[in-house]
Amino acid sequence: MAELYAVRMDVALPPDLDPAARADLLAREKAYSQEWQRSGHWKSIRRCVGEYANLSIFEVEGNAQLHEILWGLPLLAYTTITVTPLAQHPSDIAAG
Amino acid sequence: MAELYAVRMDVALPPDLDPAARADLLAREKAYSQEWQRSGHWKSIRRCVGEYANLSIFEVEGNAQLHEILWGLPLLAYTTITVTPLAQHPSDIAAG
Amino acid sequence: MAELYAVRMDVALPPDLDPAARADLLAREKAYSQEWQRSGHWKSIRRCVGEYANLSIFEVEGNAQLHEILWGLPLLAYTTITVTPLAQHPSDIAAG
Amino acid sequence: MAELYAVRMDVALPPDLDPAARADLLAREKAYSQEWQRSGHWKSIRRCVGEYANLSIFEVEGNAQLHEILWGLPLLAYTTITVTPLAQHPSDIAAG
Amino acid sequence: MAELYAVRMDVALPPDLDPAARADLLAREKAYSQEWQRSGHWKSIRRCVGEYANLSIFEVEGNAQLHEILWGLPLLAYTTITVTPLAQHPSDIAAG
Amino acid sequence: MAELYAVRMDVALPPDLDPAARADLLAREKAYSQEWQRSGHWKSIRRCVGEYANLSIFEVEGNAQLHEILWGLPLLAYTTITVTPLAQHPSDIAAG
Amino acid sequence: MAELYAVRMDVALPPDLDPAARADLLAREKAYSQEWQRSGHWKSIRRCVGEYANLSIFEVEGNAQLHEILWGLPLLAYTTITVTPLAQHPSDIAAG
Amino acid sequence: MAELYAVRMDVALPPDLDPAARADLLAREKAYSQEWQRSGHWKSIRRCVGEYANLSIFEVEGNAQLHEILWGLPLLAYTTITVTPLAQHPSDIAAG
Amino acid sequence: MAELYAVRMDVALPPDLDPAARADLLAREKAYSQEWQRSGHWKSIRRCVGEYANLSIFEVEGNAQLHEILWGLPLLAYTTITVTPLAQHPSDIAAG
Amino acid sequence: MAELYAVRMDVALPPDLDPAARADLLAREKAYSQEWQRSGHWKSIRRCVGEYANLSIFEVEGNAQLHEILWGLPLLAYTTITVTPLAQHPSDIAAG
């Protein structure tokens, strides 16, 4: 049984972060995100225009797996996370 | 060129709305949403769990078309709308 | 697999609601809540002191079932609902 | 006479905290929490999904004991605490 | 064992309330408050200057009794209540 | 003529403050508070449970004296202060 | 001894208020304000541009008199009031 | 001397407004806006996508004229207005 | 033509600012403020009781001059500024 | 097809930024802004009076180009950005 969640991530990196440390963090964040995207659990990630933020959709087994994925984000210490659990909408044409 | 937007709609129907008027409004809202879903412009609609709210993704020509679609919602007078313009995220595996 | 959620419900009944309609609503809300408590899905309900509000814990199959239960609340039209998905905490002594 | 409270704790550890100091803090926080859980006063602790936060239920003698427990948290200097006093809800099936 | 709480009450009476009903409500609120003041449980009530609000201190057995007193306020349906549990402060000269 | 004010003080000490400097600050804050309590102007100070905050009542000559007292707090640079001017409430049994 | 306060008043008149009742309310509010302005206690009243709001300065005996004046406003039931107690500023050239 | 202001107007029309009254209000609002646009004082008006709101730029003699124009809006009783005074920006290429 | 504005300034000086640098900043801020007060443009400055904040009234040529004055504040980098444009109020007895 | 957006930028530079680094940042920000102004995409930039903030209007191909421009701002790491997508308003005299 797959559960859906919308997750908004707002990132605040300190401007004086060491450039190499910063590049390393961003590379690891990208790799981590893409690994979960390929698994099918991180269904989409989109940039919020003009903000260091993304809106993502996750499809996971449930609360525990979602927490595990988010907890492992390399940028977690710099990220504010907002989780919205989702369910099928009665107007969804896919609802049959 | 297709533009993406996340739109959250929070609905507040007065509890004492006439039941027939209410049923009519909801039926028209559903039909309107499904018509735009079938057109491909209202890409997804999902219920926010426990709330009279949905999180939708739109793919439209631009700001004007998005406004036209939202302005035509039968429930518009009872709906608070929050629009977030979206762009491709550099970590998106679809970014090539 | 059981999922846990904290749900806060803030109720705002209009002061001029017809007393009989009000009594009926409250009786139905209580019966509905107790039915789900007996099922084991509405694990606890506690009054927030001095407020027309409760803090409840739900243990359900997932997002869809939680939404179905909340959507059926007789007082729903007068209630603001805040959902927090929960997971096991590493400091929980029950975590083994 | 036992008093119930819901307590939400939001933790904000500085990203550049010394790893050893951090590990020590977390170990002490866990031990402290588990000691109070075993006493029966910290009735439950649950992770808020995706957030460095927990929602806990305390059953203590009263305001003074709750404050004493929270004031002793090893992570207190990094934690924002929100306290909600609770009482029995009339719909609670345990209310007899 | 006596517990202390600060309670702020913000009242919002509809301007078009029937004057007789309004006068009756206010008279009953005053009598109710004074009855609890005389019992020693509603220790103080002070007007917040320029606002239809008061800041009160309660000394009661615990959460349940505080809720019972507040729940019985004749103006409750028009009142927003904020509860802050209090404990002895280490700088209090009465702390010995 | 004595004026009453409720003052809430929220303290945020940096976690890495030098322990000796911290102990000195707290000792001076306590002595300062107790001196004003003994003068009768700082009528009460109570801990907000679980928070590094207090709710105090001041009885002073007026705005200028209240500002002078608060401005002298040794912890002022770390404190957020909220002032609520108070007046006698018509329901106060002491109102005669 | 004169005390100073800044008071912001935000007025929200219902659009469907009876025009004669509205005109009467506004005339009484103006007369009431001007009476207190002439007494010297309502030192200034200025319109916040584009808003149904004013920012006023009062010079009164203290909290009780300020409350009495504000409580008597004919538009009080439609007005949200924010009070800021003021004191002499050390940079004020009038401070000598 | 011309002064610039950004003004955001958020309109909230009651859903049950009489359709003829509504149409009349909207027609008068449009005529009023266009009259001031033609005068050159209401420099631009743009729709905020998906919201019953606009963002406008005014170029007027000063605060008094801006207030006079906004105060005359036929929809004023249903409109929340936010004013931001503007000045020339040093990066403006028109700054010479 | 003189324009009026209310300006609230909230200052947040870092507690560990070098005492000499701090004293120099405050002396320059005071001199700067008094120079503009003597010019008649900074009409009044009053302390918000218990807060590192002031409420000031400015009478200037317009937006540009107000910005120029505020931009030159020696404490600007530590100050949050809120500007409210003012106009004559119809109830002002000075309105004739 | 050109899309319009209002963008508010609030800048927070650390007061202890190295003066040369600061001057360099500001010079690069100005050059970057003027380059985009000359391209016609950054249609206007205006100072919000008394604030380290501007309100700008952009006319770009769509969400992606707006994000690209904002993402390249030399001051981005110190800037909070708020984007409002705009569409033609039916009252706009330019709407024909």
The verdict on a CB contact (< 8 Å) between H49 and B78 is: no
Cβ neighbours of residue E51 closer than 8 Å, sequence gap 6 or more: E10, G81, G83
Using DSSP, state whether E90 is helix, strand or coil: coil
Phi, then psi, of I53 in degrees rounded to 5:
-155, 155
Rg of chain F (C-alpha set): 15
Is residue E96 scored above 70 in pLDDT?
no
User: How confident is the model at residue J95, as a pLDDT?
Assistant: 83
User: Which residues does chain D have within 8 Å of residue F50's beta carbon, measured at their own beta carbons?
Assistant: 7, 66-67, 70-71, 81-83
Instruction: Give the tokens for residue F91.
Output: 């329901």
Q: If pLDDT is split at 50, 70 and 90, which confidence band does F24 have?
A: very high
- Give tens-digit pLDDT for J27-41: 999 999 999 999 999
Is residue H96 scored above 90 in pLDDT?
no
User: How confident is the model at residue A96, as a pLDDT?
Assistant: 64
Instruction: Give the tokens for residue H85.
Output: 């005074």
- Touching J (3+ Cβ pairs <8 A), the chains are A, B, H, I
- Give tens-digit pLDDT for I36-66: 999 999 999 999 999 999 999 999 999 999 9
Shortest distance, CA E84 to any CA of chain F (angstroms): 7
Q: Kindly state the percentage of chain F with pLDDT values over 70.
A: 98
Q: What is the DSSP letter of F96?
A: -
Which of F73, J53, I46, H35 shows the shortest CA–CA distance to G95?
I46
> Buried b vs exposed e over B64-85: b needs ≥16 C-beta within 10 Å?
bbbbebbbebbbbebbebebbb
Query: What's the complex ipTM?
Result: 0.96
Which runs of E-coded beta strand occur in E1-96?
A: 3-11, 42-48, 53-60, 79-88
> For residue J85, what are the CA distances in angstroms to B37, B66, B86, H51?
22, 10, 11, 10
Q: Which residues of chain C have pLDDT under 70?
A: 1, 96
Which of D37, E70, H93, D93 shows the shortest CA–CA distance to J45?
H93
The verdict on a CB contact (< 8 Å) between G51 and H78 is: no
Q: If pLDDT is split at 50, 70 and 90, which confidence band does D96 have?
A: low
Using DSSP, state whether H53 is helix, strand or coil: strand
Distance CA J96, CA F42 (A): 68
Question: E65 to chain C: nearest residue by CA?
Answer: C49
Q: Among the CATH numbers 3.40.50.280, 3.30.70.1060, 3.40.50.1970, 3.30.470.30, which is that of A3-87?
A: 3.30.70.1060
Shortest distance, CA F47 to any CA of chain G (angstroms): 24
> Buried b vs exposed e over D24-53: b needs ≥16 C-beta within 10 Å?
ebbeebbebbbebbeeebbebbbbbbbbbb
Task: List % helix, strand, coil for chain H (3-state, nearest 5).
Answer: 35, 35, 30
Q: If pLDDT is split at 50, 70 and 90, which confidence band does B62 have?
A: very high
Phi, then psi, of A18 in degrees rounded to 5:
-55, 130
Distance CA E63, CA J51 (A): 46
Q: Show the CA angle centred on residue J33, arms to residues J27 and J39, nearest 5°.
A: 135
> For residue D82, what are the CA distances in angstroms to B78, D9, E3, E84, H41?
33, 7, 18, 10, 50
Q: If pLDDT is split at 50, 70 and 90, which confidence band does H71 have?
A: very high
Using DSSP, state whether C82 is helix, strand or coil: strand
Is residue E1 scored above 60 in pLDDT?
no
Distance CA E51, CA G35 (A): 21
User: How confident is the model at residue E95, as a pLDDT?
Assistant: 83
I5, I64, I87: residue with CB nearest H64: I87
Distance CA J86, CA J2 (A): 11
Residue F84 near residue E55 (C-beta atoms within 8 A): yes
Is residue F64 scored above 80 in pLDDT?
yes
> Buried b vs exposed e over G59-94: b needs ≥16 C-beta within 10 Å?
bbebbbbbbebbbebbbbebbebebbbbbbbebbbe
Any E CB within 8 A of G26 CB: no
Establish whether chain J is in contact with chain D, requiring a minimum of 3 CB pairs below 8 angstroms. no
The pairing of strands I42-48 and G79-88 is: antiparallel
Q: What DSSP line would sit under chain J, residue for residue?
A: --EEEEEEEEE---TTS-HHHHHHHHHHHHHHHHHHHHHTSEEEEEEETTSSEEEEEEEESSHHHHHHHHHT-TTGGGEEEEEEEEEE-TT-GGG-
Is residue F1 scored above 60 in pLDDT?
no
- Touching H (3+ Cβ pairs <8 A), the chains are B, G, I, J
Rg of chain C (C-alpha set): 15
> Buried b vs exposed e over B18-52: b needs ≥16 C-beta within 10 Å?
eeeeeeebbeebbebbbebbeeebbebbbbbbbbb
Average pLDDT over residues I54-81: 98
Which of F58, F35, F32 shows the shortest CA–CA distance to F45?
F58
B8 bridge partner residues: B55, B82
Is residue D49 scored above 90 in pLDDT?
yes
Phi-psi region of I72 (alpha: psi -120 to 50; beta: other; left: phi over 0): alpha
Instruction: Give the tokens for residue D28.
Output: 């002490």
Distance CA B61, CA C35 (A): 49
Give me chain B's average pLDDT, please: 96
Average pLDDT over residues B63-89: 98
Single-letter residue type at C82 = T
Q: Kindly state the percentage of chain A with pLDDT values over 70.
A: 98
Q: How many angstroms from the chain centroid is the CA of residue E52?
A: 13
Average pLDDT over residues B16-44: 97
User: How confident is the model at residue E80, as a pLDDT?
Assistant: 98
Residue carrying the six token digits 């009781």? I49
The verdict on a CB contact (< 8 Å) between J15 and I66 is: no
Is residue A1 scored above 80 in pLDDT?
no
Which of C41, C25, C2 shows the shortest CA–CA distance to C73?
C25
G86 bridge partner residues: G4, I48
Residue J64 near residue B87 (C-beta atoms within 8 A): yes
Is residue F61 scored above 80 in pLDDT?
yes
Distance CA D87, CA F48 (A): 19
Q: CATH class for domain E3-86? A: alpha beta
Is residue E36 scored above 70 in pLDDT?
yes
- Give tens-digit pLDDT for J3-24: 999 999 999 999 999 999 999 9
Shortest distance, CA H16 to any CA of chain B (angstroms): 9
Give me chain C's average pLDDT, please: 96
Shortest distance, CA H57 to any CA of chain G (angstroms): 13
Average pLDDT over residues B20-33: 97
Average pLDDT over residues F55-59: 98
3-class SS letters over C4-20? EEEEEEEECCCCCCCHH
Any A CB within 8 A of C77 CB: no
Distance CA D24, CA D14 (A): 15
Any G CB within 8 A of H16 CB: no
Give me chain H's average pLDDT, please: 96
Cβ neighbours of residue C27 closer than 8 Å, sequence gap 6 or more: none
Disruptive mutation site among J42, J69, J92 for chain H (greatest number of H CBs within 10 Å): J92
Cβ neighbours of residue I96 closer than 8 Å, sequence gap 6 or more: none
User: Which residues does chain D have within 8 Å of residue A77's beta carbon, measured at their own beta carbons?
Assistant: 13, 15
